[in-house]
Chains A and B, each alone.
Chain A
Amino acid sequence: MPTSHILVPTDFSTHADHALDYALALAKELRARITLLHVIYRPPMGEASLLTYLAEVEAEARQALERRVQRLREAGLQGTYIMVHGVPWQEIVETAGVQKADLIVMGTHGRTGVLHALLGSVAEKVVRHAPCPVLVTRAPAQSAAA
């Protein structure tokens, strides 16, 4: 089962960037290409203010994605990005299927308690529903602190 296409969902956090480092090293080893995915969560607010908000968020996200794709290309890898709207774990699973990813590499916040319930559950839901293998990375500093 060769791994030739790696999907890396990112929320631009340090955990997500650590996952990207991991995916980058792995992609070099496996000669795989990387697709970055950022899911813009639609907050519940009025239509007018929502449009302004989304325009800003999209512009920022696009820049953040382009910077990361640039990193991939500088490392000699093939990289692209996708930006979608929706519920993050659902869009990650959906995109993995549509894009025929053979591997998803994503970070986890590794928190427990309430923060975990809010943040860490994306990785768990992806692990449960993904159509392909999932590598959940944990930053070394975190394990030392745990």
Chain B
Amino acid sequence: MPMSLSSILVPVDFSPNASLALEQAVDLAQKYGAKVTVVYVIPQAIFHPDWAVEMEDAIDLGDIVEEAHRALTTMVAPYQQTGVSITEKVLAGGPYVEIVRVADQVSADLIVIGAHGTSQRQPTLMGSVAEKVVRQAPCSVLTVRRARQDAV
């Protein structure tokens, strides 16, 4: 049966399309009795390797992780009443690499990810990440976006 859904992974970047991805993932999870893992990857790839040491000094990753956890908790809060088991994860690294790694870890059979809306002309970080995830994922990938008609 191709539609056995037991583990859904939702990589988020706190953009509107990411919220939409979470909404759809929870909806599917409810229908199929799946668990949901929401992951935010603090993008470290944007730092040049030579800066790494300096950056570690300059930026306390602990604060960012804490802040990301808070943002995830806020994002997940409206779905606490749905009865769907939602796990939050904050990681640091190259976003798509970490996403694919977590997909393996949680044996995801579906990844739901926000795509940048072409009408917005505002590619989010997740937009290009979504394409790389589609290419590398060990499972099926649903890319979601607001319908063009909605983007008034």
Contacts of A97 in B (CB 8 A): 148
Q: Interface size (B, Cβ < 8 Å)?
A: 24
How far, in angstroms, from A143 to B110 measured CA to CA in the complex? 12
Q: At the interface, yes or no: A89 with Cβ under 8 Å from chain B?
A: no
A1 CB contact (under 8 Å) in B3, B119, B137, B147: B147
Binding stretch for chain A, among B8-16, B48-56, B80-88, B128-136: B128-136
One digit per residue, 1 when the CB lies within 8 angstroms of any chain A CB and 0 when it does not, for chain B 87-108 equals 0000000000000000000000
Q: At the interface, yes or no: A54 with Cβ under 8 Å from chain B?
A: no
Contact in complex: A146, B138 (CB < 8 Å): yes
Residues 94-136 of A at the B interface (beta carbon under 8 Å): 97, 102, 108, 116, 120, 123-124, 127-136
How far, in angstroms, from A29 to B34 measured CA to CA in the complex? 15
Contact in complex: A133, B143 (CB < 8 Å): yes
Contacts of A137 in B (CB 8 A): 2, 140
Whether A29 contacts B140 in the complex (CB less than 8 A), given A22-B3, A128-B131, A133-B145, comes out as: no
Contact in complex: B118, A131 (CB < 8 Å): yes
Contacts of A116 in B (CB 8 A): 135
Contact in complex: B140, A138 (CB < 8 Å): yes
Contact in complex: B143, A127 (CB < 8 Å): yes
Contact in complex: A124, B3 (CB < 8 Å): no
Q: Which residue of A lies closest to B17 (CB)?
A: A133
How far, in angstroms, from A123 to B119 measured CA to CA in the complex? 19
Q: Which residue of A lies closest to B130 (CB)?
A: A127
Contact in complex: B135, A18 (CB < 8 Å): no
Q: At the interface, yes or no: B144 with Cβ under 8 Å from chain A?
A: yes
Whether A127 contacts B115 in the complex (CB less than 8 A), given A22-B2, A25-B1, A134-B142, comes out as: yes
Q: Interface size (A, Cβ < 8 Å)?
A: 29
Q: At the interface, yes or no: B42 with Cβ under 8 Å from chain A?
A: no
B147 CB contact (under 8 Å) in A131, A138, A140, A146: A131
Further pairs besides A131-B147, A135-B141, A138-B137: 18, Cβ < 8 Å: A1-B147, A21-B2, A25-B2, A26-B3, A97-B148, A127-B115, A127-B131, A127-B134, A127-B143, A130-B118, A133-B115, A133-B144, A136-B134, A136-B142, A136-B143, A137-B2, A138-B141, A143-B139
Q: Which 7 pairs, one residue from A and one from B, show the smallest C-beta to C-beta distance?
A: A25-B3, A143-B138, A21-B2, A133-B144, A137-B140, A135-B142, A22-B2
